[in-house]
Amino acid sequence: MHIGILTGGGDCPGLNAVIRAVTLALLADGARVTGIERGFLGLVEHRVRPLDAAAVTGILAEGGTILGTHNKANPFEWFGAEGADVSGEVMAYVHALGLDALVAIGGDGTMSIAQRFCALGLPVVGVPKTIDNDIALNERSFGFDSAVAVVAEALDRLATTARSHGRVMIAETMGRYAGWIALEGGLAGGADVILIPEQPFDVDAVAARCRANEDAGGCTLVCIAEGAHERGGAMTVRAQVADSPDPIRLGGVGHWLQHALQPRVRSEVRTTLLGHVQRGGTPTPYDRVLATRFGVHAARLVATGQFGRMVALQGGVCTSVPIAEVANRNRTVPPDDELLRAARAIGVSLGQAGQG
Ligand code: F6P
């Protein structure tokens, strides 16, 4: 068997741990492994390299991806040729390389492209990746724990300076349309207020919480997801990226909230945009282990000929689901989520009127 591996979409901590595990497990099965550079771009531009044990030694704890990635390269809508479909050329190259199957490590965009190649006859196994933890039918993606650790540490640091100055400190997290990073990071960092896209907020409710803290002589820590928005309002768009499967880039709601809050509170309000710091750096031990489990499971799916499927964690156990059921879907925070209930139970404000 000759298997290709690629990483698509935004990078995240743990990608190298997956590449290592897939490669070592496939080599142990007697397969030959080829790394494809910069996601599907490598299949269009013929950029590949052999992966052996030496190539994946020492990369377990390394952030990013040794193969490189791309979040715009979609062979079905090729941006280099104004939306042309170059999937036929890609399939010809796949045959010329002699690839029997592809392991595609990526988010929902990568899964939907993988699904379309599956339909053209390229056997594909998917591995879910994202710091956002928003891939459907998968309760935990590697990279998420590392991002949450960054948010928690940032809040710890913001807390001491907030306390010293009696300020309102806002930390804006990533997460796209899901609030998982802000919710779990906010809980881990002891935020007084957690604002997520799934629970539209009232500025007056947030201000009331800040003023109550001021009256008690304290400061306020607000953890806000980039997709959070006022009740009846829209998400804050930072940029529109042409040619991307997901052209909307969110960001800036933290500063929007700062300006909305400042006239309503006595203390000074400051904002920290955590940004790509959440995506870089070394994976936590949890993510290294999860990534290794996912990689080994992907190799097992290849070895047993179970194609068109994505590795998934369900009930704490590695399993797989049809890629077709995952492509172009998101997993957001449900209204009855246990973490939301825990936050409410300990008095964390979710920005809802009357909640305090
Ligand atoms: O999906 C991962 C993610 O980091 C999101 O949380 C964020 O909105 C987006 O990617 C940022 O993308 P870019 O790296 O293109 O700015």
Ligand 1 pocket mutation, candidates 144, 196, 237, 249, criterion most atoms within 8 A of CB: 249
Task: For ligand 1, say whether the CB of 10 is within 6 Å of any of its atoms.
Answer: yes
Does 356 have pLDDT greater than 60?
Answer: no
Q: Using pLDDT thresholds of 50, 70 and 90, give the confidence band for residue 19.
A: very high
Closest atom, ligand 1, to C-alpha of 132: 6
132 is catalytic: yes
158 three-state secondary structure: helix
273 three-state secondary structure: strand
Bridge-partner residues for 249, per DSSP?
Answer: 239
pLDDT digits (tens, 9 = 90+) for 309-335: 999 999 999 999 999 998 878 999 999
Task: For ligand 1, say whether the CB of 175 is within 6 Å of any of its atoms.
Answer: yes
d(C-alpha 319, C-alpha 300), whole Å: 11
What is the arithmetic mean of pLDDT over 189-198?
A: 98
Does 82 have pLDDT greater than 80?
Answer: no
Q: Hey, what amino acid is at 244?
A: S
CB atoms within 10 A of CB 294: 28
What integer pLDDT is reported at residue 242 of this predicted model? Answer: 74
Give, as one character, the DSSP assignment of residue 7.
E
DSSP labels for 202-249? -HHHHHHHHHHHHHTT--EEEEEETT--BTT--PPEEEE-TT-SS-EE
Residue 10 CA to ligand 1 center (angstroms) comes to: 6
71-108: b (≥16 Cβ within 10 Å) or e = bbbbbbbbeeeeeeebbeebbebbeeeebbbbbbbbbb
CA-to-CA separations, 198 to 180, 194, 228, in angstroms, rounded = 10, 11, 7
What is the arithmetic mean of pLDDT over 160-183?
A: 98
Task: For ligand 1, say whether the CB of 131 is within 6 Å of any of its atoms.
Answer: yes
Instruction: List the domains of the chain with CATH numbers.
Output: 2-142+283-325 (3.40.50.450), 147-278+334-345 (3.40.50.460)
What integer pLDDT is reported at residue 327 of this predicted model? Answer: 81
pLDDT digits (tens, 9 = 90+) for 44-78: 999 999 999 999 999 999 999 999 999 888 999 98
CB atoms within 10 A of CB 353: 11
- Contact indicator for 73, 8 with CB cutoff of 8 Å: yes
What integer pLDDT is reported at residue 71 of this predicted model? Answer: 86
d(C-alpha 287, C-alpha 282), whole Å: 9
pLDDT digits (tens, 9 = 90+) for 99-152: 999 999 999 889 999 999 999 999 999 999 999 999 999 999 999 999 999 999
- Contact indicator for 343, 185 with CB cutoff of 8 Å: no
Closest atom, ligand 1, to C-alpha of 251: 8
Task: For ligand 1, say whether the CB of 69 is within 6 Å of any of its atoms.
Answer: no
Name the average pLDDT for the chain. 95
d(C-alpha 161, C-alpha 154), whole Å: 11
Bridge-partner residues for 106, per DSSP?
Answer: 128
pLDDT digits (tens, 9 = 90+) for 223-259: 999 999 999 999 999 998 876 767 899 999 999 999 9
Residue with tokens 């935020």: 191
d(C-alpha 244, C-alpha 256), whole Å: 26
What integer pLDDT is reported at residue 246 of this predicted model? Answer: 76
